[in-house]
C-alpha cells in the first residue's frame, strides 16, 4: 500500500453520478408500502455454533485441504495490470517452502523474526510461516523512523529481518548497528544467499526443492497453543513502550469468537486497507477470512481505493472511522449534486419497512451506490476509535451490515464485536462468547474501567513482569484502561479512556508518556505534559478535520535558560528556544506523534499526593 495510515489524509475519492433509476424495481414488485402492514420477521437471538480451534496452523491447514483451488490472496504486481490470484494450494505450498527454508537454510527455528513492509503477498507469507512453526513473529510499523526500527530489532533480539524493497534504504542505514541479525530477507526478491542477504523468492524455491525431496518436517511441526509466538510493540521504542506477547491460543480464540457472531463463506472477499502490523488487520482481516476459505484482496493505496474495489469486488472491509466517514461524505456529496437526497432518504425508509417483513430490495434500489463500492459489499467493520452513530445508521439503511469491534493489542485484539444478527450502532460490540467484561468501581452512571477476562488476553508484557502485574488482577482480569459500561445484553459502550492514551482520528494510539520522556531531557524544560487538544477557531470549522492536535504544555526551567542563553529573555524568546528543541525531538518521532503545538505554563501543575500530574484537571483548564 502507498499510504501512511498514521497520517491518514484521504485523497479526493470520486464516485460516479447517482441517478437512482433503480427505484423502478418497486413498481416491478407491485408493492405499495403505504398499504403494507409490517409483521416483523423473527430474528436470531443466540450466537452461532462457533469453531474451537487451538492454533493458527490447525485452521490454516484445514482450510487449505478443504478449499485448495479457491482464491486465497489477490495482489496487484503493478497498478496497470489485473490482480494476481493465489489459490489456497499455492499459498500453502509457499508457506511450507518458506518455513522449511527459514529453518533448514537459515537456522531460524524458535528465533525472533522482524517483518516490516507494506501489505503484500510476501508479508502474509512471512507471518503465516512464523505462526506455523518457525519462531516468533515481530510485525513492525513500516513508518517507524530508522532509530526506532533499530531499537525494535535490538529489543526483540531479532536474528532475521524480512523487509519490503521500499525499506531497503532503512535497512542499509541500520544494518551495521544490529550485529545480532544474521540475515536480511528482501520481499519480492530472487537474490541468492550471499553473506547476510537473500531474497524471499529464492528461499521459497529452495524450500520447495527440500520438500520435494521428501522432507515434510515443517508441516509436521506441532504447535504449542500457549507458546510465545508474536511480539508487538504498542508504541515506539522508548523505555515506556510495551511489547505485547501473544500465543497461538490468543489468535485462534479470536477466530472462534468471530464465528459465533459473524458468518462469512468461501465466496466472501475481504478488502485489505489497513496496515498488517496491527492485530486488527492481521487477525480479523487476514487470519479470519482464511479460516473460512474466503479470500483477501490488497488495496494498492487510498487513491486507488475506488478502482481497486471495483476490480476486486469485495464483500467485506475493515476500516477506521476516518475512512468510513469519508466514504459516507463523498457518496452523499455525489447524491446532493444529483439532487437525489430526498429520494434516497425516502427509499431508505420504504426499504426498511419492506426488509422488516422479509422483502429485501435494498441492493436493487441502491445499486448505483453499491456499484461505486465494487457491487458486492455486504459487511463493514469499524474499530479502533468511536464512529459517528448517524454514519453507521446510514450504511445500515443502505443494507450493508455495519459492525463495530472493541479490543486492544493486549486482547489480540477482539474483546467485543457486533453480532450480525443483532446490530447496535453506537455500541462497541457485544462481549465475545468466551469472555467476561465487567466494570470496575462504577460511578452513578454505571461507568468505570473495563476489566476483561478472555482467552484472547495476552501472555504478558515482554520482559516486563512488573507492568504485567499492574494490568492483571488477582482473579485474571486485564485492566483495559478504557472507561465505559456494559448493558444487560452484554453490549459494551466506551465513554472515555483512563490510560492517557491519545487516539487519533484514524485509530492510532499515542502514548503521551513516551513523548514526555523525550521532551523531559531538554534542559530548558522543567516539566511537561502532552495531550490531544481539540481544534479551535478556523481549524475547528473545517468539516473534515477533527484530528486532535498533539500539544505540549511546558513549564520552562528559567534558571537553565538564563544559564545557557543569558538573562532577561522575553516570553517570545523563551517560547522560541523551547519550540526549536521540540522540533529536533519531533525528528526522532513517527510523524503522527510529532508535537504540533506548544503552550507555556506559569506556576505549577496540579498534582496527586504521589506527585503525578492530574492530567484531566490540567486539560480542563
The string of pLDDT tens digits covering residues 488-510 is: 999 999 876 666 778 787 777 68
| CA atoms of 302 and 315, how far apart (whole Å) | 18
Q: Let me know: does 481 contact 206? Beta carbons within 8 Å.
A: no
Residue 79 belongs to a domain: yes
Query: And the C-alpha cell for 483?
Result: 472507561
Residue 345 belongs to a domain: no
Query: And the C-alpha cell for 2?
Result: 502507498
**Which domain, by its residues, includes 73?**
58-222
Query: And the C-alpha cell for 346?
Result: 425516502
426 pLDDT band, cuts 50/70/90, is confident
CA distances from 154 to 165, 355, 410 (A): 21, 56, 22
Chain Cα centroid distance, residue 221: 30
| CA atoms of 455 and 105, how far apart (whole Å) | 35
**Lowest-confidence segment of 2-16, 229-243, 481-495, 566-580 by average pLDDT:** 2-16
Reply yes or no on whether the pLDDT at 20 is more than 90.
no
Residue 375 belongs to a domain: no
**Lowest-confidence segment of 36-50, 99-113, 546-560 by average pLDDT:** 36-50
5 pLDDT band, cuts 50/70/90, is very low
Q: What pLDDT is stored for residue 609 in this prediction?
A: 38
* Grid-cell match 476490480, residue found: 311
* DSSP 8-class letter at 425: B
- The torsion angles phi and psi of 138, rounded to 5 degrees, stand at -125, 85
Residue 608 belongs to a domain: yes
Cα-based angle 417, 224, 294 (whole degrees, multiple of 5): 45
Reply yes or no on whether the pLDDT at 581 is more than 70.
yes
> Can you count the helices (H) and strands (E) in the chain?
22, 26
CATH number of 119's domain: 3.40.50.12780
Final residue of a structural domain among 222, 241, 275:
222
pLDDT digits (tens, 9 = 90+) for 219-270: 999 999 999 999 999 853 334 579 999 999 999 999 999 999 999 999 999 9
User: To the nearest 5 percent, what fractions of the chain are helix, strand and coil?
Assistant: 40, 20, 40
Final residue of a structural domain among 187, 222, 257:
222
Q: What pLDDT is stored for residue 546 in this prediction?
A: 67
* Grid-cell match 529489543, residue found: 155
Reply yes or no on whether the pLDDT at 49 is more than 90.
yes
Q: What pLDDT is stored for residue 288 in this prediction?
A: 98
CATH number of 575's domain: 3.30.300.30
Final residue of a structural domain among 200, 222, 244:
222
Q: Let me know: does 419 contact 432? Beta carbons within 8 Å.
A: no
522 pLDDT band, cuts 50/70/90, is very high
Query: Which of 238, 153, 277, 176 lies closest to 588 in space, CA to CA?
Result: 238
The per-residue b/e assignment along 341-367, b for 16 or more CB within 10 angstroms, e otherwise, is eebbeebbebbeebbeeeeebbbbbbb
Query: Strand 429-431 relative to strand 460-461: parallel, antiparallel, unpaired?
Result: unpaired
Reply yes or no on whether the pLDDT at 141 is more than 60.
yes
* DSSP 8-class letter at 285: I
Reply yes or no on whether the pLDDT at 408 is more than 70.
yes
Q: What pLDDT is stored for residue 508 in this prediction?
A: 75
Residue 588 belongs to a domain: yes
Counted domains in the chain: 2
Q: What pLDDT is stored for residue 483 in this prediction?
A: 81
Amino acid at each position: 500500500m502507498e499510504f501512511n495510515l498514521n497520517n491518514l489524509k484521504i485523497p479526493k475519492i470520486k464516485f460516479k453520478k447517482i441517478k437512482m433509476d433503480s427505484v423502478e424495481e418497486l413498481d416491478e414488485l407491485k408493492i405499495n408500502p403505504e398499504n403494507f402492514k409490517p409483521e416483523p420477521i423473527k430474528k436470531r437471538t443466540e450466537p452461532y455454533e462457533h469453531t474451537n480451534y487451538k492454533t493458527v496452523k490447525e485452521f490454516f491447514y484445514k482450510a487449505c485441504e478443504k478449499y485448495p483451488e479457491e482464491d486465497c490472496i489477490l495482489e496487484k504486481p503493478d497498478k496497470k495490470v489485473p490482480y494476481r490470484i493465489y489459490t489456497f494450494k499455492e499459498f500453502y505450498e509457499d508457506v511450507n517452502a518458506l518455513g522449511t527454508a527459514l529453518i533448514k537454510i537459515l537456522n531460524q527455528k524458535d528465533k525472533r523474526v522482524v517483518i516490516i513492509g507494506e501489505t503484500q503477498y510476501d508479508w502474509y507469507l512471512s507471518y503465516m510461516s512464523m505462526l506455523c512453526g518457525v519462531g516468533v513473529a515481530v510485525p513492525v510499523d513500516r513508518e517507524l523512523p530508522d532509530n526506532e526500527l533499530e531499537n525494535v530489532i535490538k529489543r526483540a533480539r531479532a536474528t532475521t529481518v524480512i523487509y519490503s524493497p521500499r525499506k531497503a534504504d532503512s535497512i542499509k542505514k541500520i544494518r551495521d548497528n544490529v550485529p545480532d541479525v544474521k540475515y536480511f530477507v528482501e520481499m519480492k526478491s530472487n537474490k541468492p544467499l550471499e553473506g547476510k542477504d537473500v531474497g524471499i523468492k529464492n528461499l521459497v524455491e529452495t524450500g520447495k526443492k527440500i520438500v520435494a525431496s521428501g522432507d515434510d518436517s515443517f508441516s509436521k511441526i506441532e504447535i504449542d497453543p500457549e507458546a510465545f509466538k508474536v511480539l508487538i510493540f504498542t508504541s515506539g521504542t522508548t523505555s515506556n513502550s510495551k511489547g505485547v506477547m501473544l500465543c497461538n491460543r490468543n489468535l485462534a480464540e479470536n477466530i472462534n469468537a468471530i464465528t459465533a457472531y459473524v458468518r462469512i463463506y468461501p465466496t466472501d472477499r475481504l478488502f485489505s486497507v489497513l496496515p498488517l502490523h496491527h492485530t486488527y488487520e492481521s487477525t480479523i482481516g487476514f487470519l479470519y477470512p482464511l479460516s473460512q476459505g474466503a479470500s483477501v484482496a490488497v488495496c494498492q493505496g487510498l487513491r486507488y481505493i475506488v478502482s481497486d474495489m471495483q476490480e476486486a469486488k469485495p464483500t467485506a472491509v475493515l476500516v477506521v472511522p476516518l475512512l468510513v466517514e469519508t466514504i459516507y461524505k463523498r457518496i452523499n456529496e455525489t447524491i446532493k449534486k444529483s439532487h437525489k437526497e430526498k429520494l434516497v432518504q425516502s427509499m431508505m425508509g420504504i426499504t426498511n419497512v419492506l426488509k422488516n417483513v422479509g422483502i429485501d430490495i435494498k441492493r436493487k434500489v441502491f445499486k448505483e451506490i453499491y456499484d461505486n463500492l465494487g457491487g458486492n459489499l455486504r459487511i463493514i467493520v469499524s474499530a479502533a476509535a468511536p464512529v459517528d452513530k448517524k454514519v453507521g445508521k446510514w450504511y445500515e439503511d443502505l443494507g450493508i451490515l455495519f459492525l463495530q469491534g472493541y479490543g486492544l493489542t493486549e486482547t489480540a485484539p477482539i474483546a467485543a464485536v457486533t453480532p450480525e444478527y443483532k446490530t447496535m450502532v453506537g455500541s462497541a460490540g457485544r462481549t465475545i462468547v468466551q469472555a467476561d467484561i465487567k466494570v470496575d468501581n462504577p460511578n452513578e452512571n454505571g461507568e468505570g474501567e473495563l476489566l476483561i477476562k478472555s482467552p484472547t488476553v495476552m501472555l504478558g508484557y515482554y520482559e516486563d513482569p512488573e507492568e504485567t502485574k499492574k494490568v492483571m488482577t488477582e482473579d485474571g482480569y486485564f485492566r483495559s484502561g478504557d472507561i465505559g459500561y456494559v448493558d444487560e445484553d452484554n453490549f459494551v459502550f466506551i465513554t472515555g479512556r483512563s490510560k492517557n492514551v491519545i487516539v487519533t482520528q484514524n485509530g492510532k494510539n499515542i502514548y503521551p508518556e513516551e513523548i514526555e520522556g523525550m521532551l523531559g531531557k531538554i534542559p530548558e524544560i522543567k516539566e511537561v505534559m502532552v495531550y490531544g487538544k481539540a481544534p479551535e477557531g478556523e481549524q475547528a470549522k473545517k468539516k473534515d478535520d477533527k484530528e486532535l492536535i498533539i500539544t505540549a504544555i511546558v513549564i520552562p526551567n528559567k534558571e537553565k535558560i538564563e544559564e545557557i542563553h543569558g538573562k532577561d529573555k522575553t516570553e517570545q524568546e523563551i517560547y522560541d528556544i523551547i519550540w526549536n528543541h521540540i522540533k529536533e525531538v519531533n525528528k526522532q518521532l513517527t510523524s503522527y506523534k510529532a508535537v504540533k503545538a506548544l503552550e507555556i505554563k506559569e506556576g505549577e501543575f496540579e498534582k496527586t499526593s504521589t506527585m503525578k500530574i492530574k492530567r484531566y484537571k490540567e486539560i480542563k483548564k
